Amino acid sequence: MASVRQIRTRIRSVRNIRQITRAMKMVASARLNKSQTQLLEARPYAEKMREVIRDISERAGQPEHPLLQVHTAGSKAVLVLTSDKGLCAGFNAQPLHACARRLQDPTGVPDVLCVGKKGLAFFRRAGVKPVQEWAGFWQDLSWQHVDEIGQQIIDGFISGKWSEVTLVYNRFKTIMTQVLTEETLLPIRLEKTAAGQAEEKGRFGEYAFEPSAHNVLRALLPRYVKQALWHAFLESKAAELAARMAAMDSATRSAGDMIEELTLVMNRARQAGITREISELVGGAEAINN
């Protein structure tokens, strides 16, 4: 059994770790509140833009735009969103494993476009070289970062380098739940269900477009791609912070349980030491009397 001094040292170490995890939980919670607000404000805009583009395309017909064309040449690409930092439980595992499954596609290995240091480290260990990589900006995520990434992806698709771009990320659902999401970013798909058509038919009135509906749609499509990407980044950031807050909360509670267990062990060790000393004193006194 470890000595009382050794157990005290372990308790002190666990308490220090608990202070760190508790502080990290508080920081993640504060940042999550801000991220949630930003995400909730962005969701209606993204949904409304999608509705407007679909409505215009239904009324005016789909224009001959390169972002709508299905390419037969070029390779497929997978854009995977991961975090720059760890300590967020299995947040990064889901999109990375989904991307790894796509890399085993017998019809052709897709190009990897990776966002986040954790994803880059994963692919480095796996011997995979991402075609494009971005990292180091999650802390100060802004539209400018996403706009730049979106433009590079749009340019690659229009040039014929990629025939399809799939976005893989974690969508924020609740603090305890993050949903793995895989969706086609390019080419843009404007199909909608019959229920959606009936709903929008009653919602949208007749609009006059200048110079034309086709020109408006052509101008909106690149921004639609970037907005979809921006929304995915916000979802991923909120999901990361939620996962980190939950992980740090679990670690804090585990540290508290460990402190209680170590305290019991220390008390038993102290009691055993006191009992041993009393026995030695009694034995010594009896030896003197005899």
- Each residue's pLDDT tens digit, 86-109: 999 999 999 999 999 999 988 888
Q: How much is the pLDDT for 194?
A: 46
Cα(228)–Cα(47) distance, integer angstroms? 9
Question: Which helix H or strand E contains 57, and what residues bound it?
Answer: helix 4-60
pLDDT, residue 203, reads: 52
Q: What is the predicted pLDDT for the residue at 4?
A: 86
- CB within 8 A of 123, min separation 6: which ones? 112, 114, 129, 130
Report the pLDDT averaged over residues 188-217.
Answer: 65
Comparing CA positions, the residue from 175, 169, 152, 183 lying closest to residue 233 is 169
pLDDT band at 53 (very low <50, low <70, confident <90, very high): confident
Structure tokens at 23: 């502080």
Convert 66-85 to b/e letters by CB count within 10 Å (16 or more is b). Answer: bbbbebeeeebbbbbbbbbe
Tell me the pairing of strands 162-174 and 132-134. unpaired
The secondary element (H helix, E strand) that includes residue 220 is helix 213-289
**What's the CA angle centered on 197, arms 194 and 200, to 5 degrees?**
150
Domains of the chain: 38-246 (3.40.1380.10)
**In which band, very low, low, confident or very high, does the pLDDT at 195 lie, cut at 50, 70 and 90?**
very low
